[in-house]
Amino acid sequence: MSMGFGGGPMWGGVGGGGRPGAWGGAGNATQGGAPFAGIPPELQEPVSRLIKTEPDHGEPEALFTQRATDTRPLTLTRMIMDRWRIALLSVIFLTIETVGFQTGPYLTQIGIDDGLVGKQRHLDVIVVCGLVYLVSVVLTVFVERARVRNTGKLAAQVMNDLRVRVYAHIQRLSLDFFTDEKAGVIMTRMTSDIEVLQQLLQDGLAQFAIQGLTMLFVAGVLFSYNWQLALVTLAIVMPALTIASLWFRSSSERSYLRVRDTLAGVISDIAESLSGVRVVASYNRQRNNVVHHRNVLGAYRAANFTTARVTANYSTVSDFVGLVGQASLLLIGGTMVIHSWHHVPGGGLAPNLHPELTIGQLTAFVLYLGSFFQPIQQLVQLYNTYQQGQAAVNKLRVLLATAPTVAEKAGAYELPPIEGAITFEDVEFRYGSGEIVLSDVDIAIRAGEAVAFVGPTGAGKSTLAKLVTRFYDPTAGRVTIDGHDLTDVTMNSLRRQLGVVPQEPFLFTGTIRDNVAFARPGATSEQVREAIDAVGLDDLIDRLPNGLDTAVHERGQSLSSGERQLLALARAFLAAPRVLVLDEATSNLDLKSEVKVERALDRLLQGRTAILIAHRLTTAMRADRIVVVDHGRIVEVGAHDELVAAGGRYAEMYETWSHQHGYEPARALPGDVVGRVEAQAHLTGRPLDAAAAVAHRDADRR
């Protein structure tokens, strides 16, 4: 299965999403990023035996579409009923298990009434009752084992489906969701919430059902023994227990929702601290972070204290009610037993011909009443688990009900192979309900043309790029490619022909080969090597101990900024998109790295439509046309020389840049020469030599 946030390739071209494979040969990286050292010799034989016994699971049937195939609200009942056969078998096992464990009091009653009390005392009855009880316990244990395995299978399958559904839905959501939501909260939904549900499904619901069936079974037996006594006993107990249970339900539900929320805050705080650990260390913020995390943990602890207090109160009340019920039973039942005996001539007592209640029945009554109240105590703990699971379901239901703001139409069609002509027609855009970011944008970009968007920070340059990649849809107007409205085509077919190189390229844990081939997982080593050579990374690869199979650690931290950017360009080169979007791809680089990246850009941009979001004019000058954006509007459009000569906004920017770099604006150089001039001054420390730069350029062209 190939997935990417937003349902297609994001950074670097076609294909999409997911993480590159972590295995690939000698020296490949494991998931943790360390090279695989092989299996120790002493473990080779048992590992081989284990592999031989491993069943063939076949190819995973994982599909992804931009439109959700299951839009039903998430509920525990629906999750279980999707596996109704396994659930039905579990119910059968639960019923047998419940009845089997409740045969003891009934056999005790028979043993007392028929074997110990009365004129005829039969030891055989006691022996038979004991043997029957032993056999029932053994059989029930085997049934319990089968039930545990079956419910475990049910939980595993349901959780697997749920994890895939939640993960696929997250992949389907639009970028604004990830802008508004904390990464730690999303991780909580994928991990902690689902783990709570797994615990509930694997054992919690089964025990919940067993205890519930036990209470129903015991109540039925009590009424069969003596309905008056059963009615009086339950009439004393049930009203108070019902009131306490209703209070516990409402209080614990609120408490556990708070627990899930505060736990998400804890995980989110940890994730943020780990992501920014270098900044934390740089500004010596460790102590402040510890204090802040203690405050976050304090909220989580307070939420848990609340749930513990609610549970303790309910447990105390239910214990007291149970003791009152047992005392009432002994008082009333004992009186009934006494009235069931009469004096016989010559002294002594004998049971009535039709006793109101026998000693055996009273004994069974007391035992069954204990079995009736014991599940109540268990249900308190199980209800805690249930409430945690229900809170997790509520959180996941909200997540799954979140619709992507950039959705694929039901009748969307496949975008045919494109030439790359892009048109903005009366485009207006705002983020959510905020202020207008773009307005009255009308511009046509020819196929194969490189257009740079420049302007102050916050002018709307990157937003224009996001509209082309359809990370967002215009609030008004439309964006087309080769005349096709982007909202009418499938996202996969669109992004398959686009490539994006961001300001901060993201590298996945794996190998260099995996990251370069991210958009084309089936690319050969020769194709990967060609992409590496095209962007000028061949020297780096040759220096690495394992070449293309060298491990790349998380986010590519083992590589420099320039090397990461060049790898992102190699990824885009291998993807071979028709339209390339460069979002300030050189703004964070030193000049030496920038020169390397821009040489790679010369190769990458050939024959492709390119949108360059640029802060540095050296990047913008390489474009065929430059678009100046200010306050969400296009204020100037033209080639570098034309805009300088026009004396407008771009000329002001160019004049400022020229003075910073030490030469007169009147000597305005062609855009593809300026970068060479600047690089020469930076690397050699000598005065600018424009003529030499032009000569170098012409030599490169030849």
List the chain domain ranges: 76-127+148-399
Predicted structure pTM score: 0.68
* CA pair distance 428, 44, nearest whole angstrom: 64
Q: Are 594 and 514 within 8 A, CB to CB? A: no
Q: Are 512 and 26 within 8 A, CB to CB? A: no
How many CB atoms neighbour CB 15 within 10 A? 23
Compute φ and ψ for 349, nearest 5 degrees.
-125, 150
| Pairing verdict, β 579-583 and 498-501 | parallel
* CA pair distance 232, 222, nearest whole angstrom: 11
pLDDT of residue 423: 94
| Cα torsion through 401, 406, 412, 414, rounded to 10 | -120
Strand order in the sheet with 476-481: 436-445, 422-430, 476-481, 484-485
pLDDT of residue 350: 59
Compute φ and ψ for 497, nearest 5 degrees.
-110, 10
| Cβ partners under 8 Å of residue 471, min gap 6 | 6, 174, 175, 406
Tokens of 15: 């294909």
SS3 at position 497: coil
Helix, strand, coil % in the chain, rounded to nearest 5? 60, 10, 30
Nearest to 374 by CA among 419, 319, 320: 319
Intervals of the chain under pLDDT 70: 1-38, 57-64, 68, 118-121, 278, 282-283, 339-355, 377, 380-381, 554-555, 585-594, 596-597, 661-702
* CA pair distance 477, 475, nearest whole angstrom: 7
* CA pair distance 567, 565, nearest whole angstrom: 5
* CA pair distance 175, 432, nearest whole angstrom: 12
Residue 382, classified by CB atoms within 10 Å of its CB into exposed (0-12), middle (13-18) or buried (19+), is buried
Longest CA pairwise span in the chain (Å): 139
- Distances, alpha carbon 569 to alpha carbons 105, 169, 501, 503, 605, in Å: 77, 29, 7, 11, 10
Q: Determine whether domain 76-127+148-399 maps to CATH 1.10.10.10.
A: no
Tokens of 664: 């007169």
* CA pair distance 258, 664, nearest whole angstrom: 65
Q: Are 253 and 391 within 8 A, CB to CB? A: yes
pLDDT of residue 480: 94
- Distances, alpha carbon 212 to alpha carbons 371, 372, 377, 389, in Å: 11, 9, 12, 18
Identify the bridge partners of residue 282 per DSSP, sorted by sequence position.
none
* Exposure string over 140-176, b if 16+ CB within 10 A, otherwise e: beebbeebbebbeebbeebbeebeebbbbbbbbbbbe
* CA pair distance 513, 506, nearest whole angstrom: 14
Any idea which residue has 């360009």 for tokens? Answer: 569
pLDDT of residue 467: 92
pLDDT of residue 351: 61
Compute φ and ψ for 610, nearest 5 degrees.
-135, 135
Tokens of 626: 């430059």
Instruction: Determine the angle formed by the axes of helices 359-401 and 123-172, rounding to 10 degrees.
Output: 10
Tokens of 620: 């913008």
